[in-house]
């Protein structure tokens, strides 16, 4: 897969259009359709991505994503996409009419096909729609495929619903709609090593600023190192028992049955289940007793759910 910053003159592509936050199972159908059409017709497939969410441009506030941008690129590579074009959403793009935007795409790609989801919008004010694309397909002689709404267990598959599920600690629903568990990646950094004093050493992490935040609390997680996977218990919060001066939530995870050094390595932490809310304890001894219960819950859960 080749990745370009900006548009590139490559003709006869089968294009998939969308923001694709999380690349959930609905997005996967859109992208697969574009890839399959390309393969069946001896063409190349392409995906046009905005480097940042349009909402950031209009609101001036950072948008919280489901996955980091580099992981989005990796997923597209695994889906056999041939080309990815990363577009900077700026004032010039924002003021384009739907007609102007499609003219731009046609000028660079002369697409053989375009695939979008059922609710795709584009152009100034989001006035472009699947119906607009159907008309443009006739005008510019490309095939247009509109993927219908997809539902799972009576839930519409959408990035908004997934973000809300993550915020509400419904990781089972998020996994069903994403097709994989919600996760974060972080380097392991040095902490205060207080966990070692109560025989529960933790890997201190940095929660990615660009990713949707989970609620403060204690979580059953799956931790992937560069060598192996482990069940873990993660606390995400202000650590009220340890330091009441914390103002920014801190993630720290205890890996069950693990004793090696992880400092400096990057680990992947997948959220499985919320165990409890974060709460203060009167002493480290009381905290240790609760952590023992949390770890017992994690072991029990893992023993009955082999496909974590």
Structure tokens at 238: 């202000």
| Beta-carbon count within 10 A of 277 CB | 11
Contacts of 151 (CB under 8 A, 6+ apart): 157
Q: How confident is the model at residue 202 (pLDDT cuts 50, 70, 90)?
A: confident
- Alpha-carbon span 186 to 236, nearest angstrom: 13
Q: How confident is the model at residue 304 (pLDDT cuts 50, 70, 90)?
A: confident
Q: How confident is the model at residue 245 (pLDDT cuts 50, 70, 90)?
A: low
Q: Per-residue pLDDT tens for 65-119?
A: 999 999 999 999 999 999 999 999 898 999 999 999 999 999 999 999 999 999 9
Q: Which residues pair with 237 in a beta bridge?
A: 250
pLDDT for residue 261: 82
- Alpha-carbon span 24 to 158, nearest angstrom: 8
Contacts of 110 (CB under 8 A, 6+ apart): 11, 12
Question: Domains of the chain by range and CATH?
Answer: 8-155 (3.40.50.620), 181-304 (2.40.30.30)
* Residue found under tokens 């972080």: 186
| Beta-carbon count within 10 A of 77 CB | 13
Strands (E), the chain: 2-5, 14-17, 45-50, 83-87, 113-117, 143-147, 151-152, 155-156, 183-187, 203-204, 217-224, 229-237, 250-255, 266-276
pLDDT for residue 107: 96
Q: How many CA atoms lie within 13 A of 227 on its CB side?
A: 5
Structure tokens at 97: 């009419």
Average pLDDT, the chain: 91
pLDDT at 308 over 80: no
Q: Are 271 and 182 in contact (CB under 8 A)?
A: yes
pLDDT for residue 199: 62
Lowest pLDDT segment from 189-203, 215-229, 259-273: 189-203
- Alpha-carbon span 258 to 253, nearest angstrom: 11
Q: Per-residue pLDDT tens for 38-51?
A: 999 999 999 999 98
* Residue 260 vs residue 31, higher pLDDT: 31
pLDDT for residue 198: 56
Sign, Cα dihedral of 167, 76, 116, 60: positive
pLDDT at 193 over 90: no
């Amino acid at each position: 897969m080749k990745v370009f910053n900006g548009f590139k003159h490559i003709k006869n592509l089968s294009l998939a259009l969308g923001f694709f936050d999380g690349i959930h199972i609905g997005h996967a159908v859109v992208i697969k359709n574009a890839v399959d059409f390309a393969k069946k017709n001896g063409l190349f497939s392409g995906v046009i991505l905005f480097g940042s969410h349009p909402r950031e441009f209009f609101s001036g506030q950072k948008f919280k994503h489901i996955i980091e941008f580099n992981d989005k690129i990796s997923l597209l590579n695994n889906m056999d996409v041939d080309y990815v074009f990363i577009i900077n959403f700026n004032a010039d793009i924002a003021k384009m009419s739907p007609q102007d935007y499609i003219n731009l795409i046609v000028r660079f790609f002369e697409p053989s096909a375009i695939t979008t989801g059922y609710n795709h919008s584009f152009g100034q004010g989001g006035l472009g729609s699947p119906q607009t694309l159907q008309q443009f397909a006739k005008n510019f002689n490309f095939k247009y495929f509109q993927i219908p709404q997809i539902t799972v267990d009576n839930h519409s598959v959408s990035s908004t619903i997934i973000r809300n599920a993550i915020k509400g600690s419904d990781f089972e629903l998020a996994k069903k709609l994403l097709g994989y568990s919600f996760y974060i990646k972080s380097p392991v950094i040095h902490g205060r090593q207080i966990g070692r004093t109560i025989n529960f050493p933790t890997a201190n992490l940095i929660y990615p600023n660009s990713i949707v935040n989970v609620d403060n609390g204690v979580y059953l997680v799956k931790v992937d190192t560069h060598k192996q996977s482990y069940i873990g218990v993660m606390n995400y919060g202000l650590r009220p028992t340890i330091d009441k001066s914390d103002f920014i939530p801190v993630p720290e995870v205890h890996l069950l049955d693990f004793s090696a050094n992880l400092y400096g390595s990057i680990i992947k932490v997948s959220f499985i289940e919320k165990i409890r809310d974060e709460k203060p304890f009167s002493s480290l001894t009381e905290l240790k007793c609760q952590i023992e219960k949390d770890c017992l819950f994690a072991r029990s859960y893992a023993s009955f759910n082999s496909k974590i």
